[in-house]
Structure 1
Amino acid sequence: MKAKTRRCVLHASLLLSFPWCGFALAQSAAPDPKNKPDETKQEVTTVETVVVTAERRSRPLQTSPISATVLSGDDLANKGITVVDQLMFVTPSATVNNFGQGIDFNIRGIGKGEHNSQTTTGVVTYRDGVATFPGYFTGEPYYDIATVEILRGPQGTFVGQNATGGAVFVTSNDPIIGGGHSGYVQGQLGNYNDFGLQGTLNIPLADTLAARVAFNTEDRDSFWNIDGPYTGSDARLRLRSARVGLNWQPNSALTVLFKTDYSHLDFGAYPADPVNGANDLFDVTANAELRAVDWLVRSVLHVDYRFANGLLLRSISGYQKGNTQYRTDLDGTRTGNNTFRDSVDERIYSQEFNLLSPNAGWMKWILGAYWQKDTLGFPPKEFVIGVPPGSPASEYVLDGTNPKETWAAFGKIGFDLTDRLELELGGRYTRSTTANDVNVVQYGLPLKQIQEAEYTDFSGKAALNFKLDSKQFLYAFAASGFRPGGLNVPVGLGIPPPFDEEKVTSYELGWKSIWLEGKVRTQLTAFHNDYKNFQVIVGYPTFPTFGFELNVPGTTKISGFEAQVQASLDDWKFDAGLGAMRSSLGRFYAVDPRGASVVPCDPSTGPASASCIALEGRDQTYAPDLTFNFGVQREFRVGDDIITPRFNYGYISEQWATLFQNESRGDRIESRRIVNAQIAWLHGKYLWTLYGTNLTDQHYVAAINSGLRFAGAPRQYGLRLAMSF
């Protein structure tokens, strides 16, 4: 692995990137063919300056003390990214393991490792400025997107809890005042009878008011061959999404931006089979009802007001509501009779206020306040594990509510110590509560839980930034973050204690550079994380037959190196990213809940035995040693037309799905090697794209959950036609 890592570091230092800017599907019309060739060429010979907005103030990425990958809407199309899963193939140190109704999103080995509503994610996703559902509704498609910012490392100051690993900011295109009637429409035909249609229209309503309407639909046959007898869906796809936005700017001081999204996402089913199955991942069996449907609505209101002295007051209000329904064969066979079904409602209200100082001056500051209420509801007789179903004595049934609430105050101040040296200090105080008001019938035994817990934390960041010159930027920082704890549901032994919050302290050194008169941009990063109180499900310490979530008592160490390169060399564009990482679990003893044991096992002291396993020094879950991505494209001009072939490659080395690292129980997730390619032909206002994803048709495990393995998407190919106007 070390030799392989050295080779990839060398390759990454040579690989270059830049997104193709010929046809901006979501942002602008096709280029004017009247442009002179030398003028057009001059426009694309340097890498575009990219800004990040995650810290509430727009700032060039090259002079920000943040490790990040920023993608435009064009980048998403060029790299074949339509959903969150695919982000791991275009950014270093990220893994996204999708098991249908949820994902394990981890950055630098930190994020989420357990699958329940109480264990929150450590990589929070924002949509148009508001934090989205922290676990469910992960299949929301990307369409009419302006930017996607993938931030690595704890983002405790601005994002708060649930950002111990990092954060993802997805921003859709705003209505353009003065933009006239403009937009695009795109159709797609592909294998598996795939048919997609999307588009957007910018509508001027007045001199100070504009609207934008966007939509996305896709229908596709199933990837799987399912041998029954099963009922419900064979996992064919039916997606419907729409977005409406309004942008009002009555004067230079006030901006009001409102957006509403609606999605009805029918995935049909999430087929899976036993982790040790010898069959192909897409040839599975089932004898239960299969179903997988999400619907959601999100409304976001941004209000910005800039005072005469330059102060900016910002309000961001959010409302989100959704329902997710899941039915599956829990043993993944046609001979067993274990089933699972649920229907979960979730509703989120959020409010954030920011006060920002002017951008000028030797001192800049931001103050903020945040509130969020997130309530999950489990209707009666909808959350059922049947072993087998049909009898109270063989079913686990849960209903009730799980309300969560968060209050926070945060701020950052920056001092220009000299014209090249800057000191930044930031902090956030957070108070979170969670409660369970649930009823459980555990195989005929009625249980009631009315319990709540509270968690408080102060997270901070101190950064020192140094500009060697206009093209060389160095930074060093120490930052912290936390993820709140939660409640264990009753398991027949009374009300179990809550599990504690996780905390991470991160140290990072970075060097960002611009070379060859702006044609090449690089980012080099070294980091170390002390990760405390990792949340994990193991056997109940005094009665290991029952699963129980607790915290790893020791401190896990995670260290690594990352490199990113972008370049634009005349008609050639390159991009590359590398992440190399090592992790070591702190002192910890645990019983694997998948095996029988009645011997007590203390997490801190053991003692070690055949069932009480010493786990110290093992790899962190979802922390691959190596991630690598590379993309290259070349523009060919034929008259006024532009033909652009592009190639993308993403690699993620093997990783572990549990701390027990038991290959016989299917804990190893093998490496992934994904190849995407496309050829785009721009002819006037028309863009034809012949595309292919996972061209080698690698059948890889996308996630492991409940003893089942879930497959990633196989090879897909097709043709898109887009027309701008």
Structure 2
Amino acid sequence: MLFFTTLSTNTSHPRQSKLAKSAESSKHSFNVFNTSVIAASIGFACMANTAFAQEVEPSEEILTDGQLEVITVNARRRQESLQDTPIAVSAFSAKELERRGIESTQDLDRVTPSLQFATSGQLSGNNSAAVVFIRGIGQLDPTSSVDPGVGIYVDDVYMGRSAGGAMDFKDIASVEVLRGPQGTLFGRNTIGGAVLVRSADPSDDFGGKARVRIGEDNLKEGFVAVDLPISDELLTRFSAGMRKRDGYVTREFDGQDLGNDDTYTLNGTVLYQPSDKFKMTIRGDFTEEDENGSPFVFAGVNESAPVAAIVSVAAGCPGATIPFAPLVPGDPRFGAPNVPNIDDPRCANDFQYKGEYTNGGNAPVESTLTAWGLSAALEWELNKQFIVKSISAYRSTEWTGIRDADNTQLELITTDVASDSEQFSQEFQVLFESDKVSGITGLYYFDESSDDRLSIFLGFPPSPPVIGSLLNGGPATRDLQVIHLETESYAIFSEWAYPLSDDLSFSAGLRYTEDDKRFQGTIMNLFPSTAPDPSPLPTLATSEGGPLFIFDELFSDTYSATTGSASVRYKLQDNINTYLSYSSSFKSGGFNSRYNAPTPDNLPISFGEEEVSSWEVGIKADVTKNLRINAAAFMSEYKDIQLIFRQGVVPLLFNAGSASIDGFELEFTYIPSGNLMIEGGFSYLNDKIDSVTDIDGAAATITPDNSLPLTPELQGNIGASYAVEVGNNYELTTRIDVSYTDSQYFDSSNTEIVAQSDAVTYVTASMKLDNLVGYWDVTLGINNLTDERFLEQGNASLATLGYAEVIYARPRNWFLSFSTEF
């Protein structure tokens, strides 16, 4: 019997200080689950130490029932055994993901150490926007002007935008999570690591698979994939999927459900292989999402913030005052900014809180995505030593996100974001392999063009016309930002591995990258807010009621870096490898795109690149035929961090910080018998902000006492499955998975009101009945079995705008699926 402890979750009023009491409760809540993980880790380590003196057969032979399988990865851009790769990698096949209940990228952090994968990025309001952190490094801002800190690759193609990075796993072959900088073989914007998704290839025979699923909240899901071989040389595979589900947050204003699913996908692959020496793979994909909006809810308000006071007075809140000179002498509504804490819907205060799954907003909300891509991968085997590869790809991504940021019926702030981006990439690789040396050399080119439109409705700035309009029940103002960005990136890279002896090998590589970025934009403040967008946009700044300023030419800047890696791998025994590695990477700089006041000389404010260097030591051991333990310890130096500073209400990025991060990670698989499997992982992260540099005219949102966002100190997971035969033709598998995530912050400011202050234990369970003759199965599962109430995302701007918002996880929900292969 498997025992686990459910951790309590604070569901008190959102304005109560959570982190003040979390330190002790988090340590206490850690109790059973993490103590068990640590004890298991120590136990496995002792077993490993004892087993090191034993002879273990080569892993290629460990393939029988109840024993470990050989896992092949592409973490170094060539196929090799996971156990031989001197990199911390979590690798999952499609069957393993299905077994562990991992249905999308955002589920990966339940089974991967040091990974946090969230959706609905800050300020985007889009359900497909990915916020990914590995080992404390990533990027919160989903806008086109800022690059991700963790690279997402689909079939060796880099996805330049965070929108679309949160995806369902429909027709895939494998997923790999590479932890630590990947600056040599994967290049720019992989300072935290990389996530590699690989699609399923066509089969030689006609066949396929299909799945239907129903469940809680009117869940309806369907998927089908078909292999259609045209000839022995030409193979094809096509798949289609859909997913619909009601949202779990209800808007009190109109009953609209937020956080719903409404997604359609199409995929196709053509594989042409006329000989053993040449192969061409062409892939295409299409995704469309049309959803109601991100499931944010009210988390709190700063009653002394100017905007909160303005909208409260405008709504008629008794006793509220505006912090500006009165339009009419003696008007009692003017004075120090204040909103009384009374239960009145006209007042912007904590009584606007409606609950964890009720939204109090009234502005239009939506989340849409239309994305499609084409890629062609060509591979020539010139001889037994040389292989040449070419990867060409084009991708188009359009998305919108409209959110009522204050989540009340008052008009503090509403954001309306639309983005349209296109990217083209070309990569050439030459792979060499001989008995004495192996390596890869390549050239990479990336070209992207993005057009963003951001419209922000808010009760600001506080000019007399705006205040007068609001007090008379009229509209406020609207900031309109129309931005055009272009990026060209060039890189050359090479990495080589040298066996120094039968047990000792050395590898090293370098990459040079140069990014050219261009920026142009129009920044306007429209009054009244109901005024339409000017068409065409003006090209010269005008007086009040027109543009604040115009970036009327393409401003450009160049960012470059030389990054590298080196590793030494030593084989203690046939199935026990140790390694020491060094790696570095950089995240490109760019131009800030959010403004609400003219900049000096009407010049855009740029920021430079970030850099990360990391040392890592690890061991990968198939201790016995049924026990595998992989562990790594690392320390990283994080320099020139792109930190958010505020100029007024506007968040701007500056290179103004440094940090150090170190930690330990462990993963294990144990198969004591043919019908029982136990697997899990654990990570410990220790982050420290070493310095924050002052920026003239801007206020820092972070101090050396802060923690990095999305960097929980402790994280762990453990799962077990047990299979029994039922009759002659059936097998019943019971599965339970438990993941633990320590308390964490969702912003670099460490805003307590939007932090997950309690540790979270998340449990999933399932029972699967397999028909071993008819090739079908039925699965009944439950997600969030213990109905934990915890935060998945948070965002706040309390100083001036005065709002705070959070997203809670979906409550406990069940599903029933039927799958078949043909």
Alpha-carbon distance change, 6 to 453 in structure 1, aligned in 2, over 3 angstroms: farther
Q: Which residue of 1 aligns with 2:286?
A: 262
**Aligned counterparts, 1:243-322, within 5 A:** 243-276=267-300, 278-322=353-397
Q: Which residue of 1 aligns with 2:14?
A: none
Cα distance in 2 for partners of 1:652, 1:166 equals 20
Quick check: 1:586–1:616 contact (8 Å CA) kept in 2?
yes
Alpha-carbon distance change, 288 to 526 in structure 1, aligned in 2, over 3 angstroms: same
Alpha-carbon distance change, 677 to 617 in structure 1, aligned in 2, over 3 angstroms: same
Is 1:700 paired with 2:790? yes
Q: Which residue of 2 aligns with 1:237?
A: 261
TM-superposed CA distance for 1:233, in Å, is 6.5
Quick check: 2:411–2:458 contact (8 Å CA) kept in 1?
no
Is 1:620 paired with 2:690? no
SS in structure 1 opposite 2:633? strand
Q: Which residue of 2 aligns with 1:334?
A: 409
Q: Which residue of 2 aligns with 1:204?
A: 229
567, 580, 604: which one pairs with 1:476? 580
Q: Which residue of 2 aligns with 1:505?
A: 613
SS in structure 2 opposite 1:297? strand
Is 1:576 paired with 2:680? yes
Alpha-carbon distance change, 90 to 108 in structure 1, aligned in 2, over 3 angstroms: same
Q: Which residue of 2 aligns with 1:383?
A: 454
Alpha-carbon distance change, 97 to 613 in structure 1, aligned in 2, over 3 angstroms: closer
Quick check: 1:229–1:334 contact (8 Å CA) kept in 2?
no
Q: From the CA coordinates, give the structure whose radius of gyration is larger.
A: 2
Q: Which residue of 1 aligns with 2:506?
A: 423
Q: In the TM superposition, what whole-angstrom CA distance separates every residue of 1:242-278 from its partner, at most 9, and x where no partner exists?
A: 1011111100100011110011112321131233375
Quick check: 1:114–1:537 contact (8 Å CA) kept in 2?
no
Alpha-carbon distance change, 590 to 676 in structure 1, aligned in 2, over 3 angstroms: farther
Alpha-carbon distance change, 484 to 451 in structure 1, aligned in 2, over 3 angstroms: same
Q: Which residue of 2 aligns with 1:652?
A: 741
Letter in 1 for 2:781: Y
Alpha-carbon distance change, 267 to 384 in structure 1, aligned in 2, over 3 angstroms: same
**Aligned counterparts, 1:35-46, within 5 A:** 43-46=64-67
Cα distance in 2 for partners of 1:560, 1:235 equals 34
Quick check: 1:415–1:423 contact (8 Å CA) kept in 2?
yes
Which ranges in structure 2 are unaligned for 5 or more consecutive residues? 1-26, 46-61, 301-349, 461-468, 527-544, 797-803
Cα distance in 1 for partners of 2:608, 2:361 equals 38
Q: Which residue of 2 aligns with 1:162?
A: 189
Q: In the TM superposition, what whole-angstrom CA distance separates every residue of 1:387-406 from its partner, at most 9, and x where no partner exists?
A: 15999971110113111111
Q: Which residue of 2 aligns with 1:10?
A: 39
Letter in 1 for 2:615: Y
Cα distance in 2 for partners of 1:134, 1:237 equals 21
Alpha-carbon distance change, 548 to 612 in structure 1, aligned in 2, over 3 angstroms: closer
Alpha-carbon distance change, 328 to 662 in structure 1, aligned in 2, over 3 angstroms: closer
Q: Which residue of 2 aligns with 1:47?
A: 68
Quick check: 1:583–1:618 contact (8 Å CA) kept in 2?
no
Q: Which residue of 1 aligns with 2:661?
A: 558
Alpha-carbon distance change, 524 to 211 in structure 1, aligned in 2, over 3 angstroms: same
626, 633, 644: which one pairs with 1:519? 626
Q: Which residue of 2 aligns with 1:447?
A: 549
Q: Which residue of 2 aligns with 1:715?
A: 812
Letter in 2 for 1:401: H
SS in structure 2 opposite 1:9? helix
Q: Which residue of 2 aligns with 1:88?
A: 109
Aligned pairs, number: 672
Alpha-carbon distance change, 480 to 235 in structure 1, aligned in 2, over 3 angstroms: closer
Cα distance in 1 for partners of 2:91, 2:268 equals 24
Quick check: 2:354–2:360 contact (8 Å CA) kept in 1?
no
Alpha-carbon distance change, 413 to 138 in structure 1, aligned in 2, over 3 angstroms: closer
Is 1:537 paired with 2:644? yes
Which ranges in structure 1 are unaligned for 5 or more consecutive residues? 17-40, 592-599, 603-610
Q: In the TM superposition, what whole-angstrom CA distance separates every residue of 1:516-537 from its partner, at most 9, and x where no partner exists?
A: 2x21111111000000011121
TM-superposed CA distance for 1:353, in Å, is 0.6
Cα distance in 1 for partners of 2:548, 2:63 equals 73
Cα distance in 1 for partners of 2:758, 2:158 equals 31
554, 557, 562: which one pairs with 1:458? 562
Q: Which residue of 2 aligns with 1:371?
A: 445
Quick check: 2:423–2:446 contact (8 Å CA) kept in 1?
yes
Q: Which residue of 2 aligns with 1:594?
A: none
Cα distance in 2 for partners of 1:667, 1:643 equals 41
TM-superposed CA distance for 1:76, in Å, is 1.6
Letter in 1 for 2:777: L
511, 514, 521: which one pairs with 1:438? 521
Letter in 2 for 1:492: P
Quick check: 2:250–2:257 contact (8 Å CA) kept in 1?
no
TM-superposed CA distance for 1:589, in Å, is 5.4
Quick check: 1:122–1:164 contact (8 Å CA) kept in 2?
yes
Q: Which residue of 2 aligns with 1:25?
A: none
SS in structure 1 opposite 2:591? coil
Quick check: 1:15–1:576 contact (8 Å CA) kept in 2?
no
**Which deviates further from its counterpart, 454-463 or 283-292?**
283-292
Cα distance in 2 for partners of 1:234, 1:113 equals 21
Letter in 1 for 2:585: G
